[in-house]
Amino acid sequence: MFGKILLAILSFMFFPLGWIFGIWYFFKKRDKTWGGIFIGLGLLAFILIIIASSTETNDSRTVHRSDSNQKLTSPPTSVPVPTAVPVPTAVPVPTAVPVPTAVPVPTTVSLREILDLRDANEVAADSKYIGMYVSMEGVINEIHEKDIYIVPIGSDEFQMSGAECKFDKSQMQDLIQLRKGETVTLIGTIKGISDFMFNNIEIKPCQFR
């Protein structure tokens, strides 16, 4: 780079000096030899100036092309791809397994014991048996469309106190098969005990078998 600059400076110096001294020698001194030498040096300097300028132009073009090629060949800046937001996975909710309802077990009671306690102490009998889920045996005394009436086993024909079973219509076909004097088992909840004329235990809802 420094050599090119020095060559350019010398060329610019010898170009005018060569022509000046050449013309001076050629016309003033009448010395064609030195005049021709200086004019030749001036021409040579002029040729070097042209070569140096064309070289710089080519170099600048080469640099410009190199920069252009570098811009063209440089890989494009990668655009950052947005990170996909993870979709929360739905946690499967366990299906609730239905817990089977426990079938209540009735308490086996004696119809005669309940009636005897009711005669002896009304408050004690109501407190102990009302609301209890029971199973009791008895003899059928009456059969109606919606209920049957039983008395304690071993009762005489004058026994009036007993238990009334209010059953569901789904047992209508079973009711048709029953007869007075048969022994049945009642299962249900004691709703109350009335004492109008005689003690009557009301069981509702009630099933018989």
Residue range 100-121, pLDDT digits in tens: 677 789 999 999 999 999 999 9
Better-scored residue on pLDDT, 107 or 90: 107
pLDDT of residue 160: 93
In this predicted structure, the answer to whether residue 195 has a pLDDT above a threshold of 70 is yes
Q: Are 181 and 198 in contact (CB under 8 A)?
A: no
Model confidence at 6, pLDDT cuts 50, 70, 90, reads low
pLDDT of residue 33: 73
pLDDT of residue 63: 46
**What CATH homologous superfamily does 107-208 map to?**
Nucleic acid-binding proteins (2.40.50.140)
pLDDT of residue 185: 96
Least confident residue range of 55-69, 72-86, 139-153? 55-69
Phi, psi of 78 (to 5 degrees): -70, 130
Better-scored residue on pLDDT, 144 or 30: 144
In this predicted structure, the answer to whether residue 140 has a pLDDT above a threshold of 70 is yes
pLDDT of residue 125: 95
